[in-house]
Amino acid sequence: MNPSAFDVVIIGAGGAGLTAAIYTARANLSTLILEKMVPGGQIVSTELVENYPGFQDGIMGAEIAQRMEAQAARYGARLDSGEVNRIFRQDGHFQIEAGGERYQARAVILAMGASFRTLGVPNEKEFTGKGVSYCATCDGAFFRGKELVVVGGGDSALQEGIFLTKFAAKVSIVHRRDKLRASPILQERALENPKIRFIWDTVIDKIEGAGKVESVLLRNVKTQALETFGTGGVFIFIGHEPNSGIAKGFVATDDHGYVIAETGYRTSVPGVFAAGEIRKGAVHQLVSACGEGCGAALALQAYLESSN
Ligand code: NAP
């Protein structure tokens, strides 16, 4: 076997990819995981994970990611850093190009997950890292004593908004409706937090400042009234988009770019499986990403056995 040839190449080292690797490596399949950023995926930017079974006091996101990585390595999975540019089939094998290297695989698991959605308003890009952030765990401590704006009405906005009250003097959660999407337990915690206030039926039209965030231009969507609202930072938590760029055109995807693999984690291409948040219909939870990684690994083993 050539040194860059593997039974399985897993693209993405989040909860789904790392769990898949634990299963394929333990099944004695030579396994390579390719990751363009740090292993762990979205969980790395979550401070405390409170709903992963077995950890009744919660576990730090970074710690569980490290443990999963070590567990995959312990069974022989190799983790390489590199961004996959292309995947195609040639000579009966899958060819994966990443960081100037070419890898070959008998089967592939797509586990690239999803990335945060951006607002797309003026100055958002320019001020990213200068007051605009998508990660409270990464950046919260830089905003000690400041008044902050959080955008969104889902679990992420509320969980991260609550986390930010550890540092901020005040957190204003701007939501485009007057009803939250977040789970009742987080709603309760946010509503009773004295440092949090909600600004309902409102969107941000523009982020403003001289070199860094100083204010946002708010618009009430019901009255169209505009207000300049002073803030030291804007944290944006408005959902995610699938990281499916390299998969598009290779396997079937839906209108939003999610990979279609609704039966047995099988994509439209035999030998290619999808697991975790990249997959249409997946639930955005660490425990389900791990479950999907396991399911895809078992489906892949059955595929390789039947194609031998
Ligand atoms: P989400 O549930 O999709 O919520 C996104 C929020 O952003 C919604 O309130 C949405 O408003 C708003 N939004 C979307 N696009 C917007 C735009 N362009 N401008 C302004 N607001 C916009 O996303 P999420 O909160 O990241 O959560 C994703 C998934 O992860 C969910 O399934 C959630 O349960 C899960 N999650 C769970 C936990 C936990 O269990 N503790 C923590 C984090 C995330 P509308 O409500 O009007 O659509």
> Does the Cβ of 239 fall within 6 Å of ligand 1?
yes
pLDDT for 18 beyond 80: yes
As for how many domains the chain has, the answer is 2
pLDDT for 174 beyond 80: yes
Q: Give the chain as a DSSP string.
A: --TTEEEEEEE--SHHHHHHHHHHHHTT--EEEEESS-TTGGGGG-SEE--STT-TT-EEHHHHHHHHHHHHHHTT-EEEE--EEEEEEETTEEEEEETTEEEEEEEEEE---EEE-----TTTTTTBTTTEES-HHHHGGGGTT-EEEEE-SSHHHHHHHHHHTTT-SEEEEE-SSSS--S-HHHHHHHHT-TTEEEE-SEEEEEEE-SSS--EEEEEETTT--EEEEE-SEEEE---EEE--TTTBTTB-B-TTS-B--TBTTB-SSTTEEE-GGGBTT--S-HHHHHHHHHHHHHHHHHHHHHT-
Token pair recorded at residue 178: 């007057």
Which residues form the domain of 266?
4-115+240-307
Closest ligand 1 atom, CA of 119? 18
Averaged pLDDT, 14-18: 98
pLDDT for 176 beyond 70: yes
Closest ligand 1 atom, CA of 155? 25
Token pair recorded at residue 32: 């390579």
Averaged pLDDT, 126-153: 94
Closest ligand 1 atom, CA of 283? 32
pLDDT tens, position by position, 147-167: 999 999 999 999 999 999 999
Distance of CA 293 to the CA centre of its chain: 15
Q: Which residue has the tokens 């960081």?
A: 99
In a 10 Å sphere around its CB, with 0-12 CB exposed, 13-18 middle and 19+ buried, how is residue 38 labelled? Answer: middle
Dist. CA 282 → ligand 1 center (Å): 14
Last residue of a domain, one of 236, 264, 281: 236
Token pair recorded at residue 9: 């190449």
Question: What pLDDT is stored for residue 204 in this prediction?
Answer: 98
Q: For residues 97 and 190, state if they share a domain.
A: no
Question: What pLDDT is stored for residue 252 in this prediction?
Answer: 98
Confidence of residue 1 (pLDDT cuts 50, 70, 90): low
Distance CA 107, CA 83 (A): 18
Other C-beta atoms lying within 10 Å of the C-beta of residue 210: 6
Phi-psi region of 17 (alpha: psi -120 to 50; beta: other; left: phi over 0): alpha
Dist. CA 142 → ligand 1 center (Å): 24
Question: What pLDDT is stored for residue 93 in this prediction?
Answer: 95
Distance CA 155, CA 46 (A): 12
Q: For residues 139 and 82, state if they share a domain.
A: no
Last residue of a domain, one of 236, 256, 280: 236
> Does the Cβ of 155 fall within 6 Å of ligand 1?
yes
Q: For residues 211 and 289, state if they share a domain.
A: no
Q: For residues 215 and 253, state if they share a domain.
A: no
Phi-psi region of 97 (alpha: psi -120 to 50; beta: other; left: phi over 0): beta
Last residue of a domain, one of 236, 257, 276: 236
Dist. CA 277 → ligand 1 center (Å): 14
CATH number at residue 82: 3.50.50.60
What single-letter amino acid sits at 306? S
Q: For residues 77 and 212, state if they share a domain.
A: no
Q: For residues 228 and 284, state if they share a domain.
A: no
Q: For residues 23 and 162, state if they share a domain.
A: no
Question: What pLDDT is stored for residue 222 in this prediction?
Answer: 98
pLDDT tens, position by position, 68-112: 999 999 999 999 999 999 999 998 999 999 989 999 999 999 999
Q: For residues 105 and 127, state if they share a domain.
A: no
In a 10 Å sphere around its CB, with 0-12 CB exposed, 13-18 middle and 19+ buried, how is residue 195 labelled? Answer: middle
Q: For residues 134 and 223, state if they share a domain.
A: yes
pLDDT for 2 beyond 80: no
| Whether 84 contacts 97, CB under 8 Å | yes
Query: What distance, in Å, lies between the first and last C-alpha atoms of the chain?
Result: 16
Q: For residues 212 and 244, state if they share a domain.
A: no
Q: For residues 232 and 137, state if they share a domain.
A: yes
Q: For residues 122 and 69, state if they share a domain.
A: no
- Mean pLDDT (the chain) is 96
Residues forming beta bridges with residue 84, ordered by sequence position: 98
